[in-house]
Amino acid sequence: MKINKFNVFVLIIAVTALMTSLSGWAQAKYANQETNTGAPELVSYQGNIWDGDNPFTGTGHFKFAVMDAAGTTLRWSNDGGNPPTVSVPLDVNNGLFSVNLGDTALPGMSDPLSAAVFDNPNTRLRVWFSPDDYT
């Protein structure tokens, strides 16, 4: 079997390119791990709201607080209050809603998340809901 020099050259180039791309990927992944340390600034939360046997649809008014396991120490709330006094209006479609906790661009979400919220892993999220704005 005769080996074509051109095919060997193409194979060497392909293997070199593959190794270079894998090496670059590994370095990029490592660099991202170094720069993305610490607690998140936003936490995505999704849930279901039902009105009896029917899923709720419309604007729901929510309040959120991160508490210790006993429910006595506030770690964070959407407006900084304990309990929160301002609600966050969210669209609820067929019972489903989604929110980024700590997103101060949302109405009623005036308190950003900080790393201190996650200092104690034994915490609970408390959620209040109303179909009316009861603030």
Domain ranges of the chain: 1-37, 43-130
Contact yes or no for 124/71 (Cβ under 8 A):
yes
Residue found under tokens 């607080």: 65
pLDDT in tens, 12-62: 554 444 444 444 443 444 444 445 556 678 999 999 999 899 999 999 999
pTM of full prediction above 0.85 = no
pLDDT in tens, 70-128: 989 999 999 999 999 999 999 999 999 999 999 999 999 999 998 888 888 889 999 99
Q: Is the peptide bond before 89 cis (omega within 30 degrees of 0)?
A: no
Which H, E and C letters describe 53-106, residue by residue?
CEECCEEEEEEEEEEECCCCCEEEECCCCCCCCCCEEEEEECCEEEEEECCCCC
- Cα angle 53, 59, 64 (rounded to 5 degrees) comes to 90
Q: What is the dihedral of CA 126, 118, 40, 61, to 10 degrees?
A: 10
H or E segment and range at residue 24:
helix 5-35
The Cα–Cα gap between 6 and 9 comes to 5
